[in-house]
Amino acid sequence: MPSLDRRTLLAGAAATTAFIATASRAQAPTVPTDPDLAGKTVLITGCSSGFGRASAEHLARLGAKVFATMRNVPRPEAAELEKLARDENLDITVLELDVLDDAMVANAVAEAERLAGGGLDVVVNNAGIGISGPIEVQDMAATKLAFDTNVFGYYRVARAALPAMRAKKSGQIFAISSQLGRVITPFGGHYSANKFAVEAMFEQLAYELVPHNIDVTIIEPGGYPTRVWVNRNAYTGALKERAPEIHKAGYPQVVAAMGTEDGSGRSASMMDVPNALAEIIAMPAGTRPLRRAVSGGPIPQVEINRVSAETQVAWLGRSERLGPLIRAVHNV
């Protein structure tokens, strides 16, 4: 059968039992390795280092107008990025944005929209933290900070950008998740819980935004040699010092290692994420994937993603009200 994109499906293609059983995923169009992103406006959170910084530079070099956000501006990382933009004649504007602050999120998004002349084309939710250790050892301060940054922070930024995107009937929202949003390793603090929440929230958002011609993609990186390890050790070390002994006593070996993680030996290229963002941005609206796994090593979540998509389509794909949304997002 011919491939159908989500807009065609929404226009009235009806699902039948046979369709649900035999439909295959629409093939994504071929996109150049370094697509031309001239004219695209992109806001990225967490641009002081890691995936955020690399993505800001890469997308700007491909022609995008980038709003690189970070907290605590002015700071050396902001000055470095601004100097790079001047030296290479890149269209990068650094804006202060702390994803924990409702007013600051609203103001930064509004300023980006003003400078862009309207709704943003792309929002990349990337800012995040990690606090390792057994679940029992996580106190409420660590728990609230992790969820507020990694889940509610993503929500704040996406929600602030959506009205203008809906007004122009187009847009792309990315959520940088993790392999650990689909699989779980013990002693990772609330990181998997955070990323599982992100996966659920943004998949639901993808369905709800189909009528508005706004795409949502969840990027699922494996482990990369970013500063996340340095920052995680700082947060985890502080937790280790203040956590009550009664909660640490059950996990002596794990607690002893808290705050000493080392990701520096990882050889995967951080450019995997910026390259994936650029490729997906360049795809035609309605053909972009819901999820993209990237990793320099094992990618255990691919099978989970496949089964999840098939389950959603089989369960709700024939629904008169919800079926078009489900089938559209999964490109079947």
Active centre residues (catalytic): 191
Please answer whether residues 184 and 192 qualify as being in contact, where contact means their C-beta atoms are separated by less than 8 angstroms. yes
Please answer whether residues 141 and 72 qualify as being in contact, where contact means their C-beta atoms are separated by less than 8 angstroms. no
Please answer whether residues 308 and 330 qualify as being in contact, where contact means their C-beta atoms are separated by less than 8 angstroms. no
Query: Tell me, what amino acid is at 58?
Result: H
93 token code pair: 């504007």
- Rg over alpha carbons for the chain, rounded to the nearest Å, is 20
73 CB-contact burial (10 Å; exposed 0-12 / middle 13-18 / buried 19+): middle
Taking the C-alpha atoms of residue 325 and residue 76, their distance in angstroms, rounded to an integer, is: 45
Taking the C-alpha atoms of residue 4 and residue 137, their distance in angstroms, rounded to an integer, is: 49
Query: Tell me, what amino acid is at 208?
Result: E
Provide φ and ψ at 292, rounded to 5°. -140, 120
The residues with which 220 forms a beta bridge, in sequence order, are 293
**Judging by DSSP bridges, how do beta strands 92-96 and 65-70 pair with one another?**
parallel
Residues sharing a CB contact under 8 Å with residue 63, sequence separation 6 or more, in sequence order:
36, 37, 38, 39, 40
CA distances from 149 to 128, 130, 145, 332 (A): 6, 10, 6, 34
Taking the C-alpha atoms of residue 157 and residue 152, their distance in angstroms, rounded to an integer, is: 9
Provide φ and ψ at 42, rounded to 5°. -130, 125
